[in-house]
Amino acid sequence: MELGVNIDHVATLRQARYVGNIDAHNAEPDVVAAAQISMNAGATGITVHLRGDRRHIQDADVFRIRERVKTKLNFEMGNSPEIVDIALRLKPDEVCIVPENRQEVTTDGGLDVAGQCDALRSTVARMNAAGIRVSMFIEPDDAQITASHLLGAAMVELHTGAFANAEGDAQQRELERIRNGALFAHSLGLQVNAGHGINYTNIALIRTVPHLVELNIGHSIICRAVFTGLDAAVREMIALMR
């Protein structure tokens, strides 16, 4: 498995003091530095989510990362015309289309691809035409996986939030859902990724899921980095994944 490090929470910390002034000479922490440290520690990709309300990552951040960090860039995005246009100018290696609700603290649940096929079809086609691989952030549900495949997505990222929040037998049931979703997606020729709520403890169960290619992890790694430093936090997660 490969690791994509989501650095949104580095920007969240910066915005707590430097909102509206990210170019100040003393604005910190630097998201580009976080991306570079993560890459040097073994991450194979950097993930950022440019939200419509710009609550953490800013437009300038994604273009600076694209210019200065020579690794795979995974651009999480809502399906809005403004963000689609930015993605086509940015030309990340991958986009992951996610649901977006301004009232949520973080992405809550998977995208309803099956119910939004008409709205998503043009976006997927435009990304594919630009040579940008498309992933759908979805629940491990056969209907959502099938819809993602029919729209032309190359990948699905299975939402692991329900698994991460569950305990005991309920967690095992959620793990089985993820396993079944991974098997079905793989059978359709889709690359299978996973993310949301994965941490240094539940990774032991997630790594048993078949056909997982990449995990996108942010919050847990940044939390660990507060105590150990980012380089050590990324290296520890990669060791546990392996």
Q: Active-site residues: which are they?
A: 49, 76, 196
Measured CA to CA, the distance from residue 8 to residue 57 in angstroms comes to 6
Give residue for tokens 């329900």: 162
- Residue-wise DSSP of 75-102: EEE-S-HHHHHHHHHH--SEEEE----T
Three-class SS string for 128-141?
A: HHCCCEEEEEECCC
Residues 101/121, Cβ–Cβ less than 8 Å:
no
DSSP code, position 27 = -
Measured CA to CA, the distance from residue 72 to residue 135 in angstroms comes to 14
Q: How many CB atoms lie within 10 A of CB 23?
A: 9
Alpha-carbon dihedral sign for residues 162, 118, 149, 81: negative
